[in-house]
Amino acid sequence: MALIVALPIGTPPQTQKMVLDTGSQLSWIQCRKKAPKKPPPSASFDTSLSSSFSVLPCNHPLCKTRIPDFTLPTSCDQNRLCHYSYFYADGTLAEGNLVREKFTFSRSKSTPPLILGCATDTSEEKGILGMNLGRFSFASQSKISKFSYCVPTRRTQPGVSPTGSFYLGENPISHGFQYVNLLVFPQHRTMPNMDPSAYTLPMQGIRIGAKKLPIPVHIFRPDAGGSGQTMIDSGSEFTYLVDEAYNKVREEVVRLVGPRLKKGYVYCEVADMCFGGNPIEIGRLIGDMTFEFEKGVEITVDKHRILANVGGGIHCLGIGQSNMLGVASNIIGNFHQQNLWVEFDLANRRVGFEDYRTAVSLQSFCMYFIIGLQLVLSDTGSRSWNGAHGRERL
């Protein structure tokens, strides 16, 4: 499951589909050059058609030294252009040149030329819209003060992708949102398990039904090495917890519905709270799940949508073990953001939440869109989008 936005890029604009990812920094698109003999895929960006397109040469500062924003240095290719590579947690690759290009929303509204990746060798069909706090993210380069989205509920109708909402700038209903302040860390601070560019939330605990699980608060806070950071990530499908938190969740689930667990089954090698029975009945037995934050702010996942359909008649809790991804963080993914408005207030370093049902009373809800945001159900079943760490491999 990925959140897809279609954005106009270049002059004149070409529509590009990109994965909205609040867990990564550099945005990239699929690029191609004019090939007269064989027409290239229409989804790619034709660099020859845009008058505002330019490439970054090797003497650009991004190619001169190892900068702290990226885990791997860029390089100079045979054409004396700045080259980058992204290696994802699931083993896929995107690489190409760093370029400058603008997003053109109308004749009067466009961004200045932004630094993007122009991928010429990738196994992915869509690009990435990097929206974290890093200085090279779309949000930072375009200098927007805030953005928000509403993730619609998954549907299983063949050929139909649910459409949500994506605002760049002020959301007209944000006055009803509940905000929690971000935990902010110096961008230059180096800790092996910390992502200082992530949206780090001060999580307090987890409830299942009316029971608050016995998880110490420090489990959700970064320690001296950065382990335990709790981030919200639109680019990650499932929610991932460090072992201490995951084990407490699993203990309670086993207590409630242990005999119904599908024995020996582990989804994508990260989630083992899965069931083969009636998901509605199992969800009722488990109850609602609530993520608690400071100031009394909560994200509650209704018992009727607590289980994710992973195919083959199997449903899983939608929570995986972060150590199986090779990370030491808690990550709140888009599965647990369904039917929820999420606003990233960059100017005030906070994140706001609002249940879409409250927004309906204000005549704005998850199916109304400013920029179409689609919930795309991947048919591979094996990919686990992990924007917070899996994508930061430039």
Dig out the tokens for 155 from the structure: 């549907």
Domain 2-144 fold is Cathepsin D, subunit A; domain 1 (2.40.70)
Mean pLDDT of the chain: 84
Q: Which residues contact 82 (CB under 8 A, 6 or more apart)?
A: 55, 56, 57, 58, 60, 62, 63, 74, 75, 76, 97, 98
With vertex at residue 277, the alpha carbon angle to CA 273 and CA 278, rounded to the nearest 5 degrees, is 110
What share of the chain in percent tops pLDDT 90? Answer: 57
Dig out the tokens for 117 from the structure: 């990746």
- Whether 172-358 and 2-144 are alike in CATH topology: the answer is yes
pLDDT band at 12 (very low <50, low <70, confident <90, very high): very high
- State pLDDT tens for residues 14-38: 999 999 999 988 899 998 765 544 4
State the alpha helices, DSSP H only, in the chain. Answer: 61-64, 138-141, 243-257, 279-286, 356-360, 387-390
**CATH code assigned to 172-358:** 2.40.70.10
Dist. CA 374–CA 126, nearest whole Å: 13
Dig out the tokens for 295 from the structure: 């100031």
Residue closest to 320 by CA, chosen among 259, 384, 382:
384
Higher-pLDDT residue of 180 and 381 is 180
- State pLDDT tens for residues 229-243: 999 999 999 999 999
State the alpha helices, DSSP H only, in 38-120. Answer: 61-64
Catalytic residue among 195, 233, 272, 355: 233
Instruction: Verify whether residue 69 is a known catalytic residue.
Output: no
Instruction: Verify whether residue 21 is a known catalytic residue.
Output: yes
Q: Where are the chain's structural domains?
A: 2-144, 172-358
Q: Does residue 102 carry a pLDDT above 80? A: yes
Mean pLDDT along residues 202-221: 97
Dist. CA 245–CA 60, nearest whole Å: 44
pLDDT band at 384 (very low <50, low <70, confident <90, very high): very low
Amino acid 2: pLDDT: 85
Lowest-pLDDT choice from 31-40, 98-107, 204-213: 31-40
- State pLDDT tens for residues 241-284: 999 999 999 999 999 999 999 999 999 989 999 999 899 999 99
- State pLDDT tens for residues 137-187: 999 999 999 999 998 887 656 667 788 889 999 888 888 899 999 998 876
